[in-house]
Structure 1
C-alpha cells in the first residue's frame, strides 16, 4: 500500500495545452492564490457567437420557408371551378370572346387565332422527365409552342427554360407556385408574378408579357373570382391567354381522347391547352406527335401564341439587376431544397440514433442489473474482501457552510466496519466551512486547511495526506446513505478495477427544475453508466461520489487541473491506463442540484465545457488499442456534441410545420419520442427503486429544459473555439441537507424496500 507522502513524487504533464484548454492558472473558485495580490478581473463569457447563431437560424428558417412555399403549394392541375352566379355584362362579353384577352381600362378585348393556325400551349413545367420529350416531338415536326411555366420549376430547372427559348418556343407566366389567383390577396398575386419574372430573368435573361392563371380553361368557364384575378394580371401588364380546346390531359383520359380534343373543327384556328408537368405525362407526349401529324396533313401550322396573332414576341430582355436578382433567387431555391433534403435525412438519422441508443442502453442496463443480481462479473464470481479494508474519504470543500456538516455526519454514520479516515480539505473558504466541520468533533474526521487553488488541488492535497490505498471522493454538498461506502469498496476487491462510480441522486427535487434533474440523473446518468461499464467506455466517475485506488492516481500524476471537468479527465486517464471503471448502483449519494435556471446554466456550462476539454486532451485515445477511445469519444462526439447542435433546427422545423403546415405529423413524432423516453425512464426508475410517477414532468422537459441543454452545448463550443478561458462557475448552495430532520434521506432500498416519496 502506498505511503502518505508519495504524493510528493507526482509527475505533472509537461506538454502545453491549447489556450482554451489550459486552466492551471485559475482553475479554482475565482479566488487568487495569493490574497495579497491584486484580484484579476475574471474573463467574460463570449457573447458575440449568439449573433452568428441567430443569423444561421434565420437563414435556416428562410430556407425552410422558401422550400416549404414551393413544395407545399405546387401541385398537379385540377379542373377549374364551374362558373356560377349571374355574370356582369363585361364578363358575359369575355365569355363569348376569344381565348387571348387584352383587358384595359376601356374594357376587355379578345382575339381568336386565324384559320388553320394552332398554338399548342403547355402548362405547369418545365419538368425534367416530360418537357424534353415534348420539345423533341415539337422539333421532329418543326412546330413551335408556348410554355406557361411555373416560376419555382424554372428556378429548379433553368437549363430547360433556356432550351425552350433556344429552340424558338415562347415562355409565359403561370405563377411561381401554381397558386389559384382567384383565392389570393393582391400582395400575394403580385409576389407570384414577380417571382416568376425574376426566375425567368435569372434562367434566360428574359421577361414575358404572356400569363395564364392556374386552374383556368376556356373563356366560357371563367368564374367571377377568376375574372377578378385576370383583371389583376392585366393591371400588371400581362396579356391573358386562356384556351379554345382544353384537352384535360392532366386527368389522363387516354391518348386517343387527348388527340380528339386537340383538333379544331372545320379548319378553325385554336389555342390548345396541354401539360408538360404535374404528373405522368406519357399520354400527352404520345398525343402531341399524333396531333401534329394530323394537323400537318390538313395544312395547319403550329406556332407560338404571339406569332399566331401577328404580334411582337412576348419575350423582353431583362436588365442586369433583374438577371442578378433572378440568378440569386434560383440559386437560393435550389440551395433551400438541398438544405431541406439533407436536413430531413440527417434528422431521420438523428431520430433513429436517439431511439436506437435508448433501446440499446436499456438492454445493456438490463444485462448489467441481471449480472449484479447474480453476484457475477464478466468471468466467474466477483472477488470479495476477506476483511473490510481501510478507506480514506476525501471531501474537497470551498464555501460549503450550508451543507458540510450534513455531509460529514452522513460519512461518519456509515455501516462500513473497516478502518475509516475522513479528510475535509478546506480550499480557502471564506464562510467558515472548516470551522463548521471541525466543530462537529466527530471521530476519524480531520480538517485540512490550504490556500485556495481549486478542486483538483484540494483533491491532490487529500491524496497526499491519505493514509490508505482505497480512496473515496465526495463533494461538500452531498450526503451518503449508511451502506454507500461498503457498496463502493466491494467493487474494488477486483484488482483490475481502478475506479467505481456511485449512484448520484437529486435530493432537492420538489420544484420543476429539481424534478427535471431527477429524471435526467436517473435516465441520462445512472442508466447510461450501466451500459458504459459493459462497453468499457465509462466517461465520468462523478465528483459527487467515486472510489479510487490511490496507487492508480499517483501513477497518473494525481488529479489534473487541465480541464474544468476534473472527474471526466481523471476517468478517461484511468481508462487509457488500462484500469477498469465500473458502476455500483447500490452506492447512493444524495446531492444538491441547482434550483434556478441561472444556477443550472452555470453548472452545465462548466460540465459541458470541461467535457469538451477532456475529449480534446484525450483525443489520441481513438488511435490506441482497446475499445475505450473509439467508443467513449465517439459516443460523446455524436450524442453530446453533434446531435445537440442539430436540436435548434429540429425545433425550428417543428414550429414551422406546426404553424404553416399540418401539425399532426409533428405532434405524432413528438409524442412518439416522449413515449419512448417514458418507457426508458420507467425502466430506469424501476431499476433504481424510484416511483414512476416522476415521469409526469417528462413532456414538459421538451419545452424549456431541453432548449437550455443544447444552448449550453452551443455556448461551450463557441467558448472553446474562440479560445476563451472559462472561469470556474460556482453554484449557490441552499443547504438542502442542513436541517437535522433531513440530514440524510431515508434509505431508498435499491433491492425493492422503501421508496423515496419526496426529499427536501
Structure 2
C-alpha cells in the first residue's frame, strides 16, 4: 500500500451545480437500423442457405400413374420449349444420335467444380452446368471460368426447391434471383433451365408441367435428362460409368452433379465416361449447339448487371457476416460459460476462506470497535429516511456511532423527518443541491471519525451490519469494504428479477473481485471507508454518474485493498417500474463506462494498481459492454436458428444454457442464505429482463459515442420500509 503523506482537502460542493443534459437524438433509429440490417442479412442467409436443399436424395418419389405431361413431352425428347410452338403449344427436341451432352447440377462448388472443369479441359469436352443461384453469388469466379472454357450455364433455381410444390410467386422469385446472380457474377442471362428433382421427360407430373409452363412463358427452354446416373447416391464409380452409357447409340443428355455432397465418385467416373463414349463413336456438345439453337447464355443489360452485382455483394456480405458472427457466437458463448464456472469456483474458494478466517479467531478476542460515522446523502427521501436512520441508530454496534444526514436541497420534508427522530447522535446538515458526490463530501468534512460508512437514503441495515462492515478495516492495508446489498421489495416479476440479479450477478462477481484483489465498486448502498483513503483519493468525484465506482477505482489505483464482507447485509428499495429501472440502470451503466474510461491508464500502472487495471478493466469491458452490445444479435440469431436451422438443436442449446444458469443461481442463493423459490422466474428473466439491460447498454454506449453529457437523476421512492420493521425483511442468512 502506498504511504499516506497527509490528508488532502475534500472538494466543497458547488452550489446549484447541475450537469448539462442533452438527449441524444437519432441513436435509437441508428440502433434499430443496425438490427434491421443484421436481420435482413440473416433473412437472406436463411433463404439462400438455411432452406437450400440440393441433395437429390430428397427427390420426391413419383407413384404409379402420376405421369401427366402432354404426349408431345412424355413421348418426346429431353429438351422442351413449353410454349415454343404455335398457339403456345409445347415443342420437344431430341438429341442427335451419337451426341452426348454432359450436364452437371447443383453447382458451382469450390471443392468439386474446379476439379471437374480441369477434367473437361484435359479431354476438350464442353458441358452444361445447371447452377444454383445462391452458389453462383457465392462463387462467381467459377461461373466465369465455366463460360471461359466454352461451357453452357443454365438455371437450377436459386435455392433448389421442388417447383411442383411451391407457389407461382416463389417460382418466379427463384428464377429471377438466379438470373440476377448470373448477371452479377458473369454478366449473362440464360435461356435454359432444369427444374430441381426433375429427371426424364416421360416422368413429368401434372404439377411439374404447371411449373414448367410458368417458366416457359418467360422464354425458358426446359432441359430434362436422357440418362440419370444417380451419382448423388454414390453407388460406386463402376455403376456411375455403366449408367451414363446410352443404349443403342442414342443421343443423350447425361445427368451428373458437381455439388450437393461428396462428389469424389463423380470426379473419378468422369474420365472413364468420356473415354467409353468416345470409343463408341460419340462426340460431346452443349444443349443449344447440339440442337442448332440460339446460344443459351446472352449478355445482360447494364441495369441487369447492376442489380445482379448488388445481389452478389449482398449475398457475399451476408455469408461473410454469418460466418464471422457464428464464430463470434461460439467464442462469446464459451466465454459466458467459462465466466459462470469461474465465478462459482471463486465463490467456493471465498467461502472456504471465510470459514477458515472465522476458525482462526481466538475465543473471546476483543472485536474491532472504532469510532464510526454513518453518512447518509438524501435528496427527497422523505418516504424512507426515517427507516434508514432508525436502523443505523438502533444498531447492535457497541462502538461510538455518529450519524450525519446531508439534506441535499430536498424539496420535501426529508430534513424535518430526520431531525424529528430524537436521536442525540444524529445530525442533519442542509445545503443547496449539489448532487450526491457533493452531499457525500459535505458529510465527510463534517465527520469526526476515521471510519466512515456511506449509505444511500433508501437503505436499511440489519442490527449487526455496521460491526461486520467495519471489521475488515482492522487491517491497515484495507481502504474500503463493500457490503452485501439485498433487494427488499422483491415481489412480482420485476422485484424477483432484480433480486436474482443482485444475488447471482453482483455478489458472485464481488466474491471473485475480492479473491483477486480488484474490487471495482463499493456500492453506494453499503460501504465502509478509511478516512485517510478517501482523502488520498480526493474525496468523491463529480466526474462520473457512477461516483461509487469512480471512487473505488481511485482507491484501487492508490494501492489500497478493497474487500467484500458478505455478512454485512443492507436492504435497499429497487425500482418498482420499468421506467424507473431504466433510468437507474442507464445511470449505472453510463457512469460505469465513464469511470472505466477515466481510469483506463490503470492498465499500464505498476504494482497493485496495475493488477487492478489489467484484470478488472478488460473483464468489465468484455462482459459489461461488449457482450451486452452483441447479445441482441445473438437473440436474432437464435430466432434464425429456429426458423431456418434445426429448432430442436436450438432449443436444446437454450435449455442447456438456462439449466446451467439455474444451477449456478441456485448455488448463489444458497451461498447467500436465500430461498430457492425465486428460481422459477429465471427463464423469464433471460427472455425479458435481460433484453432490457442489453438495451440500456446500447443506449449508454451510443450516448458516450455521441459525447452527450447526462446529469445524475434521483430515483422516486415508494417508502417500502415505512410501515415494515426490519424484522419483516425477507429471510436470509447473516453469516
TM-score range, shorter chain: over 0.9
Q: Give the alignment's TM-score, normalised by structure 1.
A: 0.92
Q: Give the alignment's TM-score, normalised by structure 2.
A: 0.95
Deviations 1:219-250 (A, max 9, x none): 12212211211111111210001011111111
Query: CA–CA distance in 2 between the matches of 1:573 and 1:218?
Result: 79
Matched, 1:311 2:296: no
The structure 1 residue matched to 2:733, chosen from 750, 754, 759, is 750
Query: CA–CA distance in 1 between the matches of 2:579 and 2:368?
Result: 47
Alignment RMSD: 2.1
Aligned to 1:193: 175
Q: Is the 8 A contact 1:155 1:329 kept in 2?
A: yes
The structure 1 residue matched to 2:471, chosen from 487, 490, 499, is 490
Q: Is the 8 A contact 2:106 2:260 kept in 1?
A: yes
Query: CA–CA distance in 1 between the matches of 2:8 and 2:241?
Result: 98
Q: Is the 8 A contact 1:396 1:475 kept in 2?
A: yes
Query: CA–CA distance in 1 between the matches of 2:183 and 2:429?
Result: 79
Aligned to 2:450: 469
**Superposed counterparts of 1:427-506, under 5 Å:** 427-506=408-487
Aligned to 1:62: 40
Query: CA–CA distance in 2 between the matches of 1:82 and 1:409?
Result: 84
Aligned to 1:540: 521
Instruction: Give the drift of 1:384.
Output: 7.4
Query: CA–CA distance in 2 between the matches of 1:300 and 1:748?
Result: 90
Q: Is the 8 A contact 1:384 1:490 kept in 2?
A: no
Deviations 1:39-93 (A, max 9, x none): x9963421311111111111111111111122222231234522544655x5233
Structure 2's unaligned 5+ residue stretches are 1-5
Structure 1's unaligned 5+ residue stretches are 1-5, 13-23, 26-31, 35-39, 753-760
Secondary structure of the structure 2 residue equivalent to 1:375: helix
Aligned to 1:21: none
Query: CA–CA distance in 2 between the matches of 1:382 and 1:320?
Result: 92
Deviations 1:356-413 (A, max 9, x none): 1111111111111111122269x99999766521111111111100000111100011
Q: Is the 8 A contact 2:98 2:281 kept in 1?
A: yes
Instruction: Give the drift of 1:493.
Output: 0.5
Alpha-carbon distance change, 660 to 268 in structure 1, aligned in 2, over 3 angstroms? closer
Alpha-carbon distance change, 107 to 382 in structure 1, aligned in 2, over 3 angstroms? farther
Aligned to 2:77: 98
**Superposed counterparts of 1:380-399, under 5 Å:** 388-399=369-380
Matched, 1:9 2:9: yes
Instruction: Give the drift of 1:416.
Output: 0.6
Query: CA–CA distance in 2 between the matches of 1:747 and 1:562?
Result: 36
Q: Is the 8 A contact 2:19 2:712 kept in 1?
A: no
The structure 1 residue matched to 2:209, chosen from 201, 204, 227, is 227
Aligned to 2:718: 734
Aligned to 1:81: 61
Aligned to 1:37: none
The structure 2 residue matched to 1:531, chosen from 512, 518, 525, is 512
Instruction: Give the drift of 1:631.
Output: 1.1
Q: Is the 8 A contact 2:180 2:308 kept in 1?
A: yes
Matched, 1:725 2:709: yes
Aligned to 1:18: none
Deviations 1:635-671 (A, max 9, x none): 1100000000011111111223334443222222221
Query: CA–CA distance in 2 between the matches of 1:383 and 1:400?
Result: 41
Secondary structure of the structure 2 residue equivalent to 1:160: helix
Q: Is the 8 A contact 1:80 1:217 kept in 2?
A: no
Alpha-carbon distance change, 747 to 390 in structure 1, aligned in 2, over 3 angstroms? farther
Matched, 1:667 2:674: no
Aligned to 2:564: 583
Instruction: Give the drift of 1:286.
Output: 2.3
Matched, 1:341 2:323: yes
Aligned to 2:614: 630
Secondary structure of the structure 2 residue equivalent to 1:110: strand
**Superposed counterparts of 1:218-297, under 5 Å:** 218-297=200-279
Aligned to 1:113: 95
Deviations 1:274-315 (A, max 9, x none): 111111212222222112212223332101000001112111
**Superposed counterparts of 1:631-710, under 5 Å:** 631-710=615-694
Aligned to 2:16: 33
Instruction: Give the drift of 1:511.
Output: 2.1
Aligned length: 722
Query: CA–CA distance in 2 between the matches of 1:371 and 1:164?
Result: 70
Instruction: Give the drift of 1:615.
Output: 0.2
Secondary structure of the structure 2 residue equivalent to 1:372: helix
Alpha-carbon distance change, 86 to 651 in structure 1, aligned in 2, over 3 angstroms? closer
Query: CA–CA distance in 2 between the matches of 1:60 and 1:255?
Result: 44
Deviations 1:130-188 (A, max 9, x none): 21222122222221111111111111111110000001110110001111111110111
Q: Is the 8 A contact 1:541 1:568 kept in 2?
A: yes
Matched, 1:327 2:309: yes
Q: Is the 8 A contact 2:468 2:565 kept in 1?
A: yes
Q: Is the 8 A contact 2:49 2:134 kept in 1?
A: no
Matched, 1:564 2:545: yes
Q: Is the 8 A contact 2:486 2:503 kept in 1?
A: yes
Alpha-carbon distance change, 611 to 409 in structure 1, aligned in 2, over 3 angstroms? same
Matched, 1:184 2:163: no
Q: Is the 8 A contact 1:384 1:494 kept in 2?
A: no
Query: CA–CA distance in 1 between the matches of 2:150 and 2:456?
Result: 81
Aligned to 2:134: 152
Deviations 1:524-567 (A, max 9, x none): 11121111100111110000000000011011111111101000
Instruction: Give the drift of 1:11.
Output: 7.1
Query: CA–CA distance in 2 between the matches of 1:454 and 1:112?
Result: 90
Q: Is the 8 A contact 2:95 2:251 kept in 1?
A: yes
Q: Is the 8 A contact 1:385 1:490 kept in 2?
A: no
Secondary structure of the structure 2 residue equivalent to 1:561: coil
Instruction: Give the drift of 1:126.
Output: 1.1
Query: CA–CA distance in 1 between the matches of 2:729 and 2:264?
Result: 77
Query: CA–CA distance in 2 between the matches of 1:384 and 1:128?
Result: 77
Query: CA–CA distance in 2 between the matches of 1:194 and 1:387?
Result: 81
Q: Is the 8 A contact 1:275 1:284 kept in 2?
A: yes
Matched, 1:50 2:28: yes
